[in-house]
Copies of this chain bind each other. A is one copy, B any other.
């Protein structure tokens, strides 16, 4: 069973050009804090405030800009904010709950865009071939330890711009006792 790095994706936000303009000013250049596992993507130095019906807190931005603004939260975050948690594959924001975003230059009220990401396995096309999996396939991933478990319903996401990484959110990371360097076995 191939071992794959488990990565915990903490709450973060992807912005569209239009929303970035409103929140940070026209054509603002975000500063790279660090590159993240998926090629070309980076966490920015700047952050935002997300506000729901119950509370608000800071959220990290992941660049570069995208077609649509999308906020990825853990269900715990949704509960704390007072936003319904809806599990979706990243990119699929249609009909999802909204939120208020507050930046240094402005504020926007989103009608949709908040998702709890469906757990997924990123792989490049060559990695997909080596692992004998296809884009969209559903697999399972097994982690060991005192909170060992088998995650079912893991969606394979393959294509240019993807690199091998099994991604879960902070709730899932806590549920499986995630530690730095943890790997999981791919089970088909």
Contact = CB atoms under 8 A, between A and B. Distances in A.
11 contacts: A74-B76, A75-B174, A85-B174, A149-B150, A149-B153, A170-B171, A171-B175, A172-B174, A172-B175, A175-B175, A175-B176
This chain: copies in complex: 2
A87 B174 CA distance: 10
Interface of A: 74-76, 85, 87, 118-119, 145-153, 168-172, 174-177
A146 B118 contact: yes
Contact of A152 (B76, B119, B148): B148
A85 B87 CA distance: 26
Contacts of A87: 146-147, 177
List the 5 closest A-B pairs by CB distance, nearest first: A175-B175, A75-B174, A171-B174, A150-B150, A172-B175
A59 B77 CA distance: 18
A39 B147 CA distance: 27
A75 B145 CA distance: 15
Contacts of A148: 152-153
Contacts of A174: 74-76, 85, 171-172, 175
A119 B146 CA distance: 10
A151 to B, nearest CB: 5
